[in-house]
Structure 1
């Protein structure tokens, strides 16, 4: 029954009715990993699935914005074209360049990359991915940990699966001290799980190179900073916030020979950044910043809290967002703005 209703909803959406009734809204989509037959790449977004989404947009004459075009729309305050969407992708892994960008190139659509500069420099790989890596390799089922703040935390893989456990550990660490999170992972989590910490970044978490990033810009894509280390900004003191934001901007400027003015918060919930971070971004010269709160961008949005939808796993859900049905739900009584399936996974 639900699938029949959704099909009807999307058929109505094809008429443009929802866009007409809910004007001035742009869905900005967020990708993380895109696989092209490589079973080692985490996530379930395949190149073929992504291609089908872009084919839908192309066949219906949608305008896919570059970052500069979005800025012009928001800054000038003019009407937002009805058939408008935008795409971003976070972190800077190899598949972003090798797979995702090539799919966008097929359609001539721009993709906006937010890169962890420490990842591209091969100094680290994201702490949240390090959690999943360790859990997938431990032979232990039950472990007691001491969090960075000193609190106790228990893992029981006989009760909860690896994905759920990784999410819960990540959420606990996001609320804890993040200053030395990478050292804690190696000395506490890996040690207690009896997993050898890899000497080099594992193949599935390898980054794109700075040469790749330069190639992306030459092909019309955007590349912007996503901090140096992907630590949660709201869990850092002011000097650490300053370093994460300003050094990431500096590295992008050094490598790509331009001054970036757009930023994305690590993991991006509203609890993951604060007003001090926004002030730091403004002092550094940024003009826009994205979170991961699932909603449409509109003229009324703060330029430093621009929302994004995670790209859904089902094409029907994707069409529902594109055609603005999620905005229509605001007008219906007792309806949530966003389905849980559209919430970010990180």
Structure 2
């Protein structure tokens, strides 16, 4: 295959290797008009089939170690999930096992066993609001009309963007105020249970830290940020009975969502490596505490494959991320 040959040239084995790390959040059992950016099970399966046909998929912990040693195979890639959604265990895991592929799951521990992230409170509230006019002046929404799911998505996106960078307790309080406008109860099973996290680990998957409450670290006081980073790790290690070596920065944009202070905190907390959401691939010169990741969003196998290969052209060095 031409793309495989090109990928081998762009990402050879050894010291010149380039590590591709994919980001997922959810894998839906069925398509969802309000979550059109998230793959369903059928799309996830073909995406992984394309990935494994072009790349050598490794556990992230092994890939990080081999990247540092200069022993990565050609076209090395890893699969990661952020946040800890239950469908990671119920939908994604069976497909990963079917295809024999490893993945790393970064868990925000504060939402285990019935929690709901602020963005889901908002989205699930809008899902339940009936069509017609809404008047929420205290939220900056005057004379808005819901005529279908596209309107729900647009309003939810506006509200989420407005709350995303608030301090965690204020963000949750405002999201809860929105949730109270839902005409029916919000779901309590969107996030994993502790047993599901243990099931992932028992299935050979890697579990990583993602803080406790998923704050934007750059907007969080240093003492609280340090507690979030270390506390999430401690919860997971107590749950699993084994060390947790990998971390993912919430939201993950360098110098926007986290900065050099938080890189130091992650290192001092005992993690061996961490990942950002800076687009591109990592090389032997990349900071192991700021590894690049990306999300191919294309909806057809051919375009998805091309995106995977094109991403190899964007490398992140030690001081670029």
Q: State whether structure 2 residue 113 is matched by structure 1 residue 102.
A: no
User: Within the alignment, does 1:163 sit opposite 2:153 as a pair?
Assistant: yes
TM-score by length of 1: 0.78
Q: Corresponding residue for 2:182?
A: 195
Q: Does 1:319 align with 2:309?
A: no
Matched, 1:19 2:11: no
Does the 8 A contact of 1:155 with 1:165 survive in 2? no
Distance 2:57 2:248 in 1: 19
**1:37 corresponding residue in structure 2:** 30
- Cα shift readout 1:75-116 (whole Å, capped 9, x = no counterpart): 32x143223211001111221011101101012110111111
Q: Residues of 2 paired with 1:97 and 1:313: CA distance?
A: 24
Gaps of 5+ in 2: 316-321
Cα RMSD between the aligned structures?
2.7
Q: Is the 8 A contact 1:90 1:226 kept in 2?
A: yes
Equivalences, count: 303
- Residues 1:298 and 2:290 aligned together: no
Matched with 1:138 is: 129
8 Å CA contact 2:209, 2:248 repeated in 1: yes
- The one of 265, 269, 278 equivalent to 2:253 is 269
Distance in 1, Cα, partners of 2:194 & 2:295: 26
Residue of structure 1 equivalent to 2:319: none
Any conservation in 1 of the 2:166–2:219 contact (CA below 8 Å)? yes
Superposed CA offset, 1:31-70 (max 9, x none): 111122375994441212221122234445x321102211
Aligned to 2:318: none
- Counterpart-to-counterpart distance in 2, 1:184 and 1:297: 37
Deviation at 1:184, TM superposition (A): 2.3
Give yes or no for contact 1:35–1:99 (8 Å, CA) kept in 2. Answer: yes
Paired residues of 2:246 and 2:273 also in contact (CA < 8 A): yes
Give the superposition deviation at 1:219: 1.9
Aligned with 2:211 (options 227, 238, 242): 227
Give the match for residue 222 of structure 2. Answer: 238
Local SS of the residue matching 2:213: coil
Report deviation, 1:238. Answer: 1.6
Does the 8 Å contact 2:27/2:92 carry over to 1? Answer: yes
**CA 1:21–1:274: 2 relative to 1, 3 Å:** closer
State the secondary structure of the residue aligned to 2:138: strand
Q: Check whether the contact 1:179–1:236 (CA below 8 A) recurs between aligned residues.
A: no
Residue of 68, 72, 97 corresponding to 1:75: 68
Tell me what 1:344 maps to. none
Once the two structures are superposed, residues 199-220 of structure 1 have per-residue CA deviations (whole angstroms, 9 ceiling, x without a partner) of xx605x5322222222222221
Q: Give a deviation string over 1:303-335, Cα, whole Å, max 9, x none.
A: 12212111424222321233x2233489xxxxx
- The offset of 1:287, in angstroms, is 1.8
- Given that 2:296 and 2:307 are in contact with CA atoms closer than 8 Å, whether structure 1 keeps it comes out as no
**2:295 aligned to which of 310, 313, 333:** 310
Q: Residue 156 and residue 284 in structure 1: after superposition, are their counterparts in 2 closer, same or farther (change >3 A)?
A: farther
Choose 310-319 or 214-223, whichever is displaced more. Answer: 310-319
Instruction: Decide whether aligned partners of structure 1 residues 19 and 231 sit closer, same or farther in structure 2, where only a CA change above 3 A counts.
Output: same
Q: Secondary structure at the match of 2:137?
A: strand
